[in-house]
Amino acid sequence: MEGGSDENLGNGIGGSRWNPTKEQINMLESLYRQGLRTPTAEQIQQITARLRDFGHIEGKNVFYWFQNHKARQRQKQKQETFAFYNRFLHATTPVFPPYQNVVCSPCYISPPRNDPAVFYQQHPKVPLPTASGSFKRSRLIPQMSINDSSKQQQQQQPTIQKYNNNLHCIYTARNSSSHHQETLDLFPIHPTGILESSRNIDEAGHDQNEIKNPSFCAEKERDANNDSHPFFDFFGGN
C-alpha cells in the first residue's frame, strides 16, 4: 500500500512527509477504535510523545491523522449508507442497513454512549451551551447541527478536567516501554487482543490476503457520538 519506504524521514532535510511506521499506525488506530476522534492539544502531545518511540513524528502528524482518518472513515460509512438506500430504492432486495456490518473491529462494536472506551472520547455531557453557530457548509452536508460536542471538548472546561489528568498517565511510564503490550496499556487501550492490525501497511510485502483497504470498505464503525449524516455520500457507487 502506501508503504514502500521503510524509513521515516527522521531527517529534517528534504522535508518529506511523515511516513508512519506500522507501530504508529497500529497505535493510532487503536486509539481511534477506542473512540478518540478529535484529540485535544494535550492529547495530541501525549500521543505524539508516545509514538515518538517508534519514529519521528510531530504533533501535526497526529492531528492530521485523526482528521483524515475520521473523515475517510465517515466517507466510507456514508457510502455504504447511501448504497444501502440506493438499493432500497432501486432494487427490491430487502437488505439491512449497512451500519451494522462491523467487520473487523476486534472487540469494539461501537458500544453505547457510555462505553468504557470513551475516556478519550469527547462526549462530554457537560452543558456548555456554547452552541455557537458553526461554520456554514454550503456544499455538502447541510445538516450538521447536532454535533456541537466538538467545540466544547476543546474548551476543556475546568469542570471536566479529568481529561487533563490523562496526561500523567501517559507520561508516567514513558521510558520503560519495551514491548508493545506495555505501550498499549498506557493508552486507554484495554482490548483483550492487542490491536493486531486491521491493516497491514507494510513495505514491499504486499500481503494480498488481507483487505489491504480496498479503500473505503475496510472497517466501519459508527461514530458513536454523532454523525447523523444525511447521506450525501461521496463515493456513492457500489
Instruction: For residue 77, give the nearest of 216, 225, 181 by alpha carbon.
Output: 216
Indicate whether 32 belongs to the interface with DNA (CB under 7 A): no
Indicate whether 130 belongs to the interface with DNA (CB under 7 A): no
Q: Which does 136 bind (CB under 5 to 8 A by kind): a copy of itself, DNA, none?
A: a copy of itself
The H or E element spanning position 179 is none
The residue type of 21 is T
Indicate whether 69 belongs to the interface with a copy of itself (CB under 8 A): no
Indicate whether 189 belongs to the interface with DNA (CB under 7 A): no
Q: How many CB atoms lie within 10 A of CB 89?
A: 8
Q: Which does 187 bind (CB under 5 to 8 A by kind): DNA, a copy of itself, none?
A: a copy of itself
Candidates 3-11, 19-27, 100-108, 165-173 — which segment interacts with a copy of itself by CB under 8 A? 165-173
Cell of 192: 483483550
Cell of 45: 502531545
The residue type of 189 is I
Indicate whether 2 belongs to the interface with DNA (CB under 7 A): yes
Instruction: For residue 62, give the nearest of 95, 104, 98, 32 by alpha carbon.
Output: 32
Q: Which of 127, 193, 205, 214 is the binder for a copy of itself (CB under 8 A)?
A: 214
Residues 92-111 binding a copy of itself (CB under 8 A) are none
How many CA within 13 A on the CB side of residue 116?
7
Candidates 2-10, 103-111, 138-146, 175-183 — which segment interacts with a copy of itself by CB under 8 A? 138-146
Candidates 92-100, 105-113, 175-183, 212-220 — which segment interacts with a copy of itself by CB under 8 A? 212-220
Q: Which does 70 bind (CB under 5 to 8 A by kind): DNA, a copy of itself, none?
A: DNA
Cell of 197: 492490525
Q: How many CB atoms lie within 10 A of CB 20?
A: 23
